[in-house]
């Protein structure tokens, strides 16, 4: 196994149009398999990188939906535990015409949050790369502990760590910010959106100086790539945005898969930008068409 992802898998429901708030009756589409780690795992596996996801789902239709989809995508689901005592986590999403998103999550008391370090088995010692999303550190104490333990063990075994901060600093606890900052500061690759490093109190130059690759995603403007000896701006293809949820996870998966398959950082970022642009044009965070690299 080359790549391990640890965190939440959930079922997502969304408003099919803009400016349809969640506090009023109206149409909702779904369920779609989702969760930042699950999206990442799906894309990476379909790109051709052997990928395992460690997560927990419920023994219910939503959990079965997620498992079936990930198995079809080629993800190793042996690390996904089915919990008959808790329902599968869910998220509800609405979009505004100005590009803002509103989320309602049911995660902390659902199956996803029951993830524990014991669920890792020997996976951390068997992989080359671990990917962690900041959402995993923010949505449940058990998930956070498991991701941190996985990172410690992967690094101790000589593997690499990728971290996507993937959070709104003003909306999470100081403890979550500390955890994300510490993992990002130890990562081999960091995938912040604009402003996230500053909000975490991290310095891009310091990260690069110790050898990390920093890919800052800029939406329709593409991404900037900074690494030792590399400073590049990578454009994104033009896209008609329908559903931006999961675009950052898709970018990170594209970059990571391409890197593991031998691409340099700039070429890997081009793969990520191409996939992310394609992903926003399709309703559903895991529905992006993906071809093997």
> Could you read off the pLDDT of 80-123 as tens digits, one per residue?
999 999 999 999 999 988 778 889 999 999 999 999 999 999 99
The DSSP bridge pattern shows strands 101-106 and 89-95 to be: antiparallel
| Chain mean pLDDT for the chain | 95
Phi/psi of residue 53, nearest 5 degrees: -115, 130
Active site residue 249: yes
Write down the number of H helices and E strands in the chain.
Answer: 9, 13
Contact 223, 273 (CB under 8 A): yes
Residues in the chain: 293
**Which of 41-50, 161-170, 259-268 shows the lowest per-residue confidence on average (mean pLDDT)?**
161-170
3-state DSSP call for residue 11?
strand
Percent of the chain with pLDDT over 90: 88
Gap between the Cα atoms of 174 and 290, Å rounded: 37
Mean pLDDT score, 158-168 = 93
Annotated domain spans of the chain = 3-279
Q: Residue 73's pLDDT is what?
A: 98
Q: What is the pLDDT of residue 99?
A: 76
> In the prediction, which pLDDT does 144 show?
96
Picking from 87, 12, 9, the residue whose alpha carbon sits closest to that of residue 41 is 9
Q: In this structure, what token pair is assigned to residue 29?
A: 């589409």
**Percent of the chain scored above 70 by pLDDT?**
99
Residue 168 has pLDDT above 80, yes or no: no
Catalytic residue chosen out of the listed positions 73, 164, 243, 249: 249
Helices 61-73 & 36-46 angle (0-180, nearest 10): 30
The pLDDT of residue 47: 98
| Mode of pairing for the β-strands spanning 51-58 and 3-6 | parallel
Fold category of 3-279 in CATH? 3.40.1190
CA–CA separation, 68 and 98 (whole Å)? 35
| pLDDT exceeds cutoff 80 at 170 | no
Take residue 290 and report the two structure tokens written for it.
């993906």
pLDDT tens readout for residues 125-134: 999 999 999 9
227 forms beta bridges with 230
- pTM value is 0.96
Answer yes or no: is pLDDT of 169 > 70.
Answer: no
Query: What whole-number distance in Å separates Cα of residue 181 and Cα of residue 198?
Result: 10
Q: Beta strands 160-164 and 189-190: pairing type? A: parallel
C-alpha span between 224 and 218 (Å, rounded): 8
Neighbouring CB atoms inside 10 A of 86's CB total: 18
Residue 247: how many other CB atoms lie within 10 Å: 26
Closest-CA residue to 167 (of 145, 151, 141, 191): 191
Nearest Cα residue to 8 out of 51, 40, 48? 40
pLDDT band at 171 (very low <50, low <70, confident <90, very high): low
pLDDT band for 245, please (50, 70, 90 cuts): very high
Give the pLDDT mean for 134-155: 96
């Amino acid at each position: 196994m080359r790549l391990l992802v640890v965190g939440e898998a959930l079922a997502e429901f969304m408003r099919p149009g803009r400016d349809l708030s969640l506090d009023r009756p109206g149409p909702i589409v779904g369920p779609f398999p989702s969760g930042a780690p699950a999206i990442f795992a799906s894309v990476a596996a379909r790109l051709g990188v052997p990928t395992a996801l460690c997560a927990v789902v419920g023994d219910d239709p939503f959990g079965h939906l997620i498992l079936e989809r990930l198995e079809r995508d080629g993800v190793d689901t042996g690390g996904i535990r089915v919990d008959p005592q808790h329902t599968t986590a869910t998220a509800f999403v609405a979009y505004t015409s100005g590009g803002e998103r509103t989320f309602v999550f049911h995660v902390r008391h659902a199956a996803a949050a029951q993830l524990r370090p014991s669920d890792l088995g020997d996976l951390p010692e068997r992989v080359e790369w671990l990917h962690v999303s900041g959402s995993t550190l923010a949505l449940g104490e058990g998930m956070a502990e498991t991701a941190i333990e996985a990172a410690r063990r992967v690094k101790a075994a000589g593997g690499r760590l990728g971290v996507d901060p993937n959070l709104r600093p003003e909306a999470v606890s100081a403890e979550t910010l500390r955890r994300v900052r510490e993992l990002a500061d130890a990562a081999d690759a960091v995938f912040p959106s604009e402003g996230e490093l500053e909000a975490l109190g991290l310095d891009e130059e310091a990260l690069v100086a110790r050898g990390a690759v920093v890919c800052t995603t800029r939406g329709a403007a593409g991404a900037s790539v900074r690494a030792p000896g590399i400073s590049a701006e990578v454009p994104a293809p033009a896209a008609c945005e329908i559903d931006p949820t999961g675009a950052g996870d898709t970018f990170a998966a594209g970059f990571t898969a391409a890197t593991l398959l031998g691409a340099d950082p700039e070429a890997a970022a081009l793969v990520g930008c191409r996939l992310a642009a394609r992903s926003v044009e399709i309703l559903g965070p895991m529905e992006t068409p993906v071809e093997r690299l």
